[in-house]
Structures are given as C-alpha cells and as structure tokens.
Amino acid sequence: MPLLPDQYLQETAAWTRDNFEISVPVNVSYELLEEILAARLEQLISNNFSQFIFLLYRTDVAEKKVKAILENAVATTTDPYRQIAALIIERQLQKITSRATYKQDDLPDDEERW
C-alpha cells in the first residue's frame, strides 16, 4: 500500500529530525516543520556554514536555487531561512514520492532488483 501524503510529511519530519539534529513534534504540520527547520538553518549558517553546506549536499538541493535565495536575501535584506527550509522539505518529499512510485515489491529476490 503506498504511503499517504501526510505520511510523506511525517517521514520527511523524521528524516529532518535525524539529519538536522532538531526536535520535531509528532504529526507536525508543513508550516511548523518549515519554521523549525528555518531556525536550525539560521543557526547553521551563522555558526557552522560548512555543516550547512554538507547537509545541503546530502539533501541534494539545487545549489543554484540556494545561491539565488541567498543573493536575493542580501540584496533585499530579507530572511532566507524559510525559503531554504522549504527547498529542503520539498526535495525530501520528492525523494520519498519517487521511492514510493518506483518501489518494486513484486520481484522474487534482491538479485533481480538492480
């Protein structure tokens, strides 16, 4: 049975909790997850930029999009953290959706799953 969209968000929240080392409540909403992640990103960008870059790489977020958000934030003195958090969440949701879509449960053994 494929996961429901709410389950995708909860899986994303669990992934975020583990990878960004933050506390995320059970059954978190998209908006609250974005807010919590944005606060963590602000900490990382201010205090440990190399860890921030590593996590972006691990998440597979488009570097071009992050650079555009950061450049726009500098030019307009706006807060980039929520926008970057949204990129990370959306990318993780895409990966979860893709895995669910292309899951191959009907193969007889692992040898044929390549």
User: ∠ CA 60-66-68 to the nearest 5 degrees?
Assistant: 145
Q: Given this model, what pLDDT does residue 14 score?
A: 94
Task: Please state, in angstroms and rounded to a whole number, the distance separating the CA atoms of residues 7 and 66.
Answer: 27
Q: Given this model, what pLDDT does residue 10 score?
A: 92
Specify the DSSP class assigned to residue 108: S
Q: Given this model, what pLDDT does residue 103 score?
A: 76
Give, in order, the Cα–Cα distances in Å from 85 to each of 22, 44, 62, 65, 102.
Answer: 13, 12, 13, 12, 26
pTM: 0.82
Give helix 5-20 / helix 81-101 axis angle, nearest 10°. Answer: 120
Q: Given this model, what pLDDT does residue 3 score?
A: 46
Residue of 73, 67, 31, 39 whose CA lies nearest to 56: 67
Question: How many residues are there in the chain?
Answer: 114
Give, in order, the Cα–Cα distances in Å from 86 to each of 91, 101, 103, 113.
Answer: 8, 22, 25, 33
Q: Given this model, what pLDDT does residue 2 score?
A: 45
Q: Given this model, what pLDDT does residue 5 score?
A: 77
pLDDT tens-digit profile, the chain (114 residues): 344 578 999 999 999 999 999 999 988 999 999 999 999 999 999 999 999 999 999 999 998 999 999 999 989 988 999 999 999 999 999 999 888 888 766 555 656 555
Structure tokens at 46: 């201010």
Q: Given this model, what pLDDT does residue 66 score?
A: 93
